[in-house]
Amino acid sequence: MSLRTKLKKVLPSISITEQEALDAGDVWLEGSIYQGKPDFSALRDVPAATLSADEQAFLDGPVKELLGMIDDSVIQNGIHLPNDILEFLKKERFFSLIIPKSFGGLEFSPYANSTIVGTIATKSSAVAVTVMVPNSLGPGELLLHFGTQEQQAHYLPRLANGTDIPCFALTSPEAGSDAGGIPDVGKVTKGMYNGEEVLGLEITWDKRYITLAPIATVLGLAFKVVDPDGLLGGKENLGITCALIPKEHPGVELGNRHDPMGIRFYNGTTRGNKVFVPMDFVIGGQKNIGRGWQMLVSCLGAGRGISLPALGVSTAQVAFKSASEYAAVREQFGLAIGQFEGIQEKLADIAGKTYLQEAMRVLTTEGLGMGLKPSVVTAIAKYHMTELGRDVLDSAMDIQAGKAIQNGPQNTLASGYVAQPIAITVEGANILTRNLMIFGQGVMRCHPYLQSMVESIHSEDKGADKEFNGILRKTIGYSTANSLRALRLGVLPFTASANSDLPEVRDYEKAVHKLSAK
């Protein structure tokens, strides 16, 4: 029995859903880091982030006006987002940051999108999330990439001007991180629509934790499609599919609002029992039945790299400003507390991590602005920026001590502190993001031979053993070379290369080379 055959018996097979997730997105700067040889020349070639005249005008105009309208203590002491704020968001097209101008949208860059969301988050997490969700993974993004011309022409202008408010329902009580395990099912059948019998889907679903569901007018829905009667002429289980269903469609239930940590953005449930929809409701039409998971994972990377990192860095920036000012004016034992070493240590940690987060935000959004979909990089950004945001908030709370734990209009930390677990959890809980995406997907996509080795192990071709042995030899040679390089850099650290024009940067480049080789 060959080594490949033995491995095939113990190595779990990769499902189509898992393979689509692994294949999603592009490999970017992280590829060279995972391979042990960081490409700093590629990093230096990334263009500097800038705002266009329209983007800057939007920040100086509507965004600034919105900040003046927000009183987060009033929002948090209420139940609903104030109606004047919601109407302002619609009127000024805050929900259209990613929609092309040809459909009435603003068509801003990922960097501008991130900057706008982050700026709003400095005043209110609830308002920032309300703006963030329509401009992240959801009906707008999916329609742009996969919708039919008729769907785009109907929905995108309505989403841009706020006539329609979207939500997207994926998570169910039984399936959270394992989104591929959703139990919601649509059966291919015939039914009546607008007085005619048409081919469509009879869908039953039960979803929870859906942001904007209580106020949404159009529901994006993910579910599995089955065709037991063979009406489409193919297999019975057709896979995950995405559809757009208007709120007023018979049988659609939106409501039962959740209370996410007391932060007043809208989040709730949606249900439907044997709701018939025509094939025209499927995003992209009937041909896209079964392509839902591929559609979702191809778009998720972009949203994950914009919205939540923006929330993380804005939280850190507010905490940095608040803690620094407090340390300067608060006196104990006859001195400003900022003069004590313990406080200085915390402030230094806050400053360094805030700088790191802003640099990561800018770099990630610039990659997205170049047209890339670097799924591993965006996972790294989401995970580390939300975790660093949590660290910064903890330190800022320690500095402000008693003041930080008293709610009120002058408490600048409490709302962000309470909201931080939300950022940690959504769009891929951080434990999942770290283990499955950063390490799992990162290694599979960035290692030069691992993915092809796994494919050869599961191959049924007659020449699979020969192919596997060739890949194995290359892998051993590659690993040996990396190990020797790591040993050399460990014993002779001065041999690490650095090509930066800035002397103060070269030591960091050398350090990254040594760490990457390990």
Q: What pLDDT is recorded for position 513?
A: 84
Q: Where are the alpha helices (DSSP H) in 330-374?
A: 341-369
pLDDT of residue 269: 96
Per-residue confidence (pLDDT) for residue 362, from 0 to 100? 95
Residues pairing with 275 in the sheet: 203
Q: What is the pLDDT of residues 472-488, one digit of tens each?
A: 999 999 989 888 888 88
Which residues, in sequence order, are CB contacts of 59 under 8 Å at separation 6+? 51, 112, 115, 116, 119
pLDDT confidence band for 517 (50 / 70 / 90): confident
Average pLDDT over residues 82-93: 96
Residues 134, 367: Cα–Cα separation, whole Å: 21
Task: Say how far apart CA 127 and CA 3 lie, in whole Å.
Answer: 57
pLDDT per position as a tens digit, 341-397: 999 999 999 999 999 999 999 999 999 999 888 889 999 999 999 999 999 999 999
pLDDT tens-digit readout, 143-197: 999 999 999 999 999 999 999 999 999 999 988 877 778 999 999 999 999 999 9
pLDDT of 54 strictly over 70: yes
Q: Could you give the 3-state DSSP secondary structure of residue 378? A: helix
Determine the pLDDT at residue 242: 95
- CB–CB of 247/210 below 8 Å? no
Global pTM reads 0.92
**pLDDT at residue 515 in the model:** 83
Sign of the alpha-carbon torsion through 60, 66, 68, 73: negative
Least confident of 1-10, 71-80, 85-94, 116-125: 1-10
DSSP bridge partners of 225 = 186, 239
Rounded CA separation 157/103 (Å): 5
Q: Within its chain, how far is the Cα of 402 from the centroid?
A: 34
Tell me the mean pLDDT in the region 112-131: 95
Q: Which of 427, 455, 460, 509 is catalytic?
A: 427
Confidence of residue 294 (pLDDT cuts 50, 70, 90): confident
For the segment 271-289, what is each residue's pLDDT rounded down to a tens digit? 999 999 999 999 999 999 9
Residue 358 is a catalytic residue = no
| pLDDT for residue 128 is more than 80 | yes
Whether the CB-CB separation of 271 and 207 falls below 8 Å is answered with yes
Structure-block tokens of residue 206:
């039960």
262-300 exposure pattern, b = at least 16 Cβ within 10 A, e = fewer: ebbbbbbbbbbeebbbbbebbbbeeebbbbbbbbbbbbb
Query: Mapping DSSP to helix (H, G, I), strand (E, B) and coil, where does residue 463 land?
Result: coil
Residue burial 27-38, b: 16+ Cβ < 10 Å; e: rest: bbbbbbbbbbeb
What distance in Å separates the CA atoms of residue 396 and residue 337, rounded to the nearest whole number?
13
pLDDT digits (tens, 9 = 90+) for 403-443: 999 988 889 999 899 999 999 998 888 998 898 889 888 88
User: 38 pLDDT exceeds 80?
Assistant: yes
- Residue 491 pLDDT greater than 90, yes or no: no
Confidence of residue 302 (pLDDT cuts 50, 70, 90): low
Ordered by where they begin, the domains of the chain are 3-44+448-517 (no CATH), 53-160 (1.10.540.10), 166-289 (2.40.110.10)
Q: How many residues does the chain have?
A: 518
pLDDT of the residue at 199: 95
